[in-house]
Amino acid sequence: MAASSIEWTELTWNPTTGCDKISAGCKNCYAEVMSRRLQAMGVPKYENGFRIRCHEDALDIPRGWRKPSVVFVNSMSDLFHDKVPLKFIKKVFKVMNECPQHVFQVLTKRAARLEEVASELKWTPNIWMGVSVENEAVAWRIDHLRNVPATVRFLSCEPLIGPLPNLNLTGIHWAIVGGESGFNPRPMSADWVREIQRQCEKADVAFFFKQWGGKNKKAAGRELNGKTYDAMPKRQPQLSAA
């Protein structure tokens, strides 16, 4: 477990680590950079750097959290990566199923595999499922997400590296938008952000603006149109003790 500085979650849980780049949004992957840093520090979980690993010993961690929390699953990996066995994905879902006091936010770029295995997984209301959509070239991921029986389906348009003027938000409940940050961030147009915000408003989709990004993301802030957009999905499950 780790407390998270990510604005739209509270904790992170990484039963898998490592990944491979598959689209333009992966170019400056923060998780890859962090994995190398942790490997250099001698952290056992990252001894293989950014290669895919499944961590059986991390599976039961959420069972020990007493306080109901919002949890980002695999901030350092992609649960639906082809190298993560379906058997292990089912183990992760079993833990989430059996911890209804927590909300689990799962995010993937492997939308096709997500849909392929979705029917073999148990989708309890506390599992929110999202796909990354960094530009129009990967907007097809939304179609796969729409076919997944999650109570909350969301988009992560971060890093937003191109306009998304024709989003089909049918069956989508939440959109997160953010600019790229780090050493050499790609620029994001304010018009792109406002365009997504207007589409979300029209479709009654919760809109969360995470950051403008840049080399100094804190200085750039996260205000849009003179206000902070931090809406969360309306369809939050009823939390209860395990």
pLDDT computed for residue 234 by the predictor = 73
* Beta bridge partner(s), residue 108: 131
Residue 170: per-residue pLDDT: 98
Please report the pLDDT score of residue 218 as a whole number.
86
Q: Round to whole Å and give the CA distance between 145 and 153.
A: 7
The whole-number pLDDT of residue 215 equals 87
Which residue is it, tokens 């509270």? 10
CA dihedral of residues 13, 24, 150, 212 (deg, nearest 10): 70
Tell me which residues of the chain have a pLDDT lower than 70: 1, 235-242
Q: How many CA atoms lie within 13 A of 163 on its CB side?
A: 10
pLDDT for 214 equals 87
Residue 217's pLDDT is what?
A: 87
Give pLDDT, residue 240: 43
Looking at residue 4, its pLDDT comes to 85
